[in-house]
Amino acid sequence: MEKTETRAQDIGEMTEPQMTQAEFTDKMETHQAFIHGKSAELLRYHSVKQILDNIERLEYQLRNNNFKPREEQKILDEISMLQKSIRTLREYEAKQTENKKYRAERTRLIEERNNNYSKIRTLYAKEDEIKKEIAVLRGDISASRKSIDQLRQLRPKLEQEWTAQQRKLQAARNKRYEEKKRLRQEQIRERQEEKRKLW
């Protein structure tokens, strides 16, 4: 795994994540703890409007009904709790939105990681192909060197054979030249004798 991460750093094409996995995990845990702590409290209310409607309903009851002091205090406590719940619900909704953002960031990080691993695997495959090609070329170079060494060893013998062949050819040329020269001389003598006979 360390090798993969090191190779990924060496590849200039890779995009650096906006947030590390450790930072992302810490933020997710913080937001999830907040949300779980508030969700039970806010389970009855799904919107600020719903809370305001409840407050309005309770205030209407206080205005139009006569309650015992104890019951009135309970309603006032309920209204106070609901008013505080508005802020808590807004915080909860903001954290929910932020939580969605971090989930999207997590998805992006996972996709980016997978893309990077895919690129690294492709590069490893290309590297293996190049290594195989280099091995083949080294084998060809080695075979070529052996052939060159063999030719170098054969060179003196080939040069001797070539020199001997050249001498034979030259001797054959000289012999043919001498033979032609002799024939011409004989032809000249024969003509001279025929002329003398005619005289």
Q: What's the pLDDT tens digit per position in 35-52?
A: 454 444 445 667 888 888
| Range 22-35 average pLDDT | 52
Structural domain contains residue 97? yes
Q: Would residue 178 count as lying in a domain?
A: no
190 assigned to some structural domain: no
Task: Write the CB contacts of 28 (distance below 8 Å, at least 6 apart in sequence).
Answer: 99, 102, 106
Q: Is the pLDDT of residue 169 over 50?
A: yes
Query: How confident is the model over 115-121, as a mean pLDDT?
Result: 92
Task: Give the model confidence (pLDDT) of 67-82 as tens digits.
Answer: 888 988 998 998 888 8
Greatest mean pLDDT range, 63-67, 83-87, 93-97, 167-171: 167-171
Task: Say if 40 falls within a structural domain.
Answer: yes
The answer to whether residue 183 sits within a structural domain is: no
User: Containing domain of residue 108, as a range?
Assistant: 3-7+19-148
In a domain, 144, yes or no: yes
**Is residue 48 domain-resident?**
yes
Look at residue 155 and tell me if it is in a domain: no
For 125-148, the DSSP string reads HHHHHHHHHHHHHHHHHHHHHHHH
Q: Indicate the number of domains in the chain.
A: 1
pTM for the predicted model, two decimal places: 0.40
Query: How far apart (Å, rounded) are the C-alpha atoms in residues 190 and 196?
Result: 10
What single-letter amino acid sits at 52?
A: L
